Chain A
């Protein structure tokens, strides 16, 4: 048995890396899929309501970008469905019946999203303007529903409910509805959905900020910056509140994960909050410490007892503690900085009915997109690595779920190369689209669901 452990552990590393890599890639596209349609519809609404052609043109172009991102997201999402079984067969065979219906629900939402996305995108010229607008609404709603159902499964892995484990390890009293409505879903789902709105909002705004910094200061760019940035600026303070609640709930629901996030070694009261620093078993080295703050954040009193990592055996603690702690701090730090950016916009708007004139505002907006993605990834690392060594918190260890098939290292290598190419191609294609929009008239026939051009026209092009 002891001899088997080493090769098993290495395959486990490969499987975890592949899952982390493909999920980390997909989560950006999924966020765009969830939130970008709302930004597009906002522009569409403004355009129709005020007869604003700039806003309408933005909505139309964005919908073409969304089509490309949605197509790539559908692919990377399909890969994840495969990986559930390819990488974690014993997790699926044991618990598929518990959380599966949540995925079935997600499937319905995804289907509706795909269908109405196609209708919206190819309905620009074919449907009456307000009818067309309303065909976009189901896309926004099914994006929310889909995110809720998927995150419900991840929440369930953190706070598993809806089953009992019998003496022989088999499951009894399976209740999928209870599993779907687990404890963590109340804070994890809004946290993820708001993160999606932040990522999409700041990312789209950052593109136009770059354009304005390069001197393209027309109304088109102004609106392209303001619409998404306003939505993101509204989402950010709510997100900080939700995130704060989430952290406090995790201190209750998954105390070891919380201890690892905050690098708390020993259970005690009056715990110091450390910002950055290196986590060691003797406590934190370096970093900025604020005495008593961690206890206060958990229970609004420095007398609050915070559970430390020493409450469980070493092999029940999450790995890579320093990285986890940093990921948490970076997420909170970036989120706070993004809130300041939103406040800057809001305050200036209240005072002058205009956006800030400073170049620094544009510079800050230009980096906000990448910053939001960094915060998103950090948050994902916190929730996933923080749950380790468990795949189902406190019930099933990740090492007991992994496939016994060999060759995961090979598939990991192939996937990394393929995704690098996919990511590069996506960026190149989007850049080529925007370049064509700048230099020439809008080509109506672009995009995977584009309105159909005349076949005769297409065959005349050198294809």
Chain B
């Protein structure tokens, strides 16, 4: 494994973490949007705000991580993607502003109208942002991003079957992860009605994501042949692993078992992301720029890997502390009369 490959693995790890944590965060916003009003809707929204409150900022630091690793380790790919996909990425950035502001303000706004506006901004942008990011992923996967400053088509690069499908798939996968997490949060909180509510939503989202994934295979076959070929060869074990995890989670949800669902749901998402990575290897931009060609100077890659090592040593224990304190608080509150 070359240094460039190692840097690419770091990048892909960041993408995976963002997809899981950020994706679940977006999904929580999706459920805020779709839950109906009334007493249960209010409780569901409160559960969502309660569940992601302490961790949402850390979850989104993974996005910065991905951007920084990309521009440091693979500057040419970063510049090509950011310039050709100026429109969807600007829209995604806009969504991030609305989403973060909405979430931060919904608990502290002065009036009822302000709170509702903030929650609305949070929920709507939680759907739009992952959609636009999905179109970007689709543009890269289908080889529509040429090397250079805005050298690709500003519109058709991301308005095409693959991009649109992956955009919708991103939203569905996030909703699926969020529903699975929220069902277990509701259970830890001792609210069986909400637990069943989100378990049912998780089942629905799982079916939707599964159908989209199967449809995706056909679309990739027509529109992104390189990735399709990779997925049915090098990436095949991971695709199968993803399908098995997804199906097993579906069975457990159907039978009403909760144990193991979270692991399987995360496993399904992680496997498909690494399947995509395996299918695209050795390309950063399929059939246009390989990892080796696009990699920064070896001194830079070494520096990047060193910083990543430092991050592992410092950030992982700190993050573990945050999540532990977060979970323990819940347990303490449960124990209170």
Contact = CB atoms under 8 A, between A and B. Distances in A.
Contacts of A24: none
Given A174-B297, A448-B107, A452-B50, A74 B57 contact: yes
B71 A100 contact: yes
Interface residues of A, number: 84
Interface stretch (A84-92, A219-227, A293-301, A337-345): A84-92
A96 B72 contact: yes
Nearest to B300: A97
B297 A104 contact: no
B329 A100 contact: no
A429 interface: yes
Contacts, number: 269
Contact of B58 (A111, A431, A462): A111
Contacts of A171: 297
B45 interface: yes
Given A100-B68, A403-B150, A432-B109, A459 B46 contact: yes
Contact of A78 (B63, B75, B78): B63
B115 interface: yes
A458 B104 CA distance: 17
Contact of A75 (B79, B100, B107, B333): B100
Contacts of B308: 104
B89 interface: yes
B307 A105 contact: yes
A46 interface: no
B96 interface: yes
Contact of B53 (A92, A107, A450): A450
Contacts of A450: 53, 107
Interface string B130-150: 000000000000000000011
Q: Which applies to chain A's interface (DSSP): helix, strand, loop or mixed? A: helix
Interface string B292-322: 0000110110011001101100110011011
B301 to A, nearest CB: 8
A428 B53 contact: no
A133 interface: no
Nearest to A100: B72
Contacts of B304: 100-101, 104
A401 to B, nearest CB: 9
A455 B189 contact: yes
Nearest to A410: B90
Contacts of B50: 452-453, 455, 458
Given A126-B329, A455-B189, A82 B89 contact: yes
A109 to B, nearest CB: 9
A446 B69 CA distance: 35
Contacts of A462: 112
B251 interface: no
Contacts of A411: 86, 90
A108 B307 contact: yes
Given A174-B300, A446-B107, A92 B79 contact: yes
Contact of A68 (B104, B115, B318): B104
A72 interface: yes
Place the interface of chain B in its size category: 35 or more
Contacts of A77: 64
Contact of B57 (A114, A126, A177, A425): A114
Contacts of A114: 57-58, 61
B300 A107 contact: no
B53 A108 contact: no
B223 interface: no
Contacts of B318: 111-112, 115-116, 138
Given A107-B68, A459-B42, A459-B46, A85 B315 contact: no
A232 B325 CA distance: 34
A187 interface: no
A116 B149 CA distance: 39
A114 B315 CA distance: 10
Interface of B: 39, 42-43, 45-47, 49-50, 53-58, 60-61, 63-65, 67-69, 71-73, 75-76, 78-84, 86-87, 89-90, 92-94, 96-98, 100-101, 103-105, 107-112, 114-115, 118, 149-150, 154, 189, 191, 296-297, 299-300, 303-304, 307-308, 310-311, 314-315, 318-319, 321-322, 325, 329-330, 333
Given A403-B83, A446-B107, A449-B54, 20 more contacts: A74-B60, A78-B96, A82-B82, A86-B86, A96-B296, A104-B72, A104-B304, A106-B68, A108-B314, A108-B315, A115-B58, A115-B318, A126-B329, A138-B318, A404-B149, A405-B154, A418-B97, A428-B109, A432-B108, A433-B108
A-B pairs, top 9 by smallest CB distance, nearest first, are: A100-B72, A85-B82, A96-B75, A432-B110, A97-B296, A93-B79, A89-B79, A405-B86, A174-B297
6 contacts: A92-B71, A118-B58, A403-B83, A407-B90, A432-B110, A463-B42
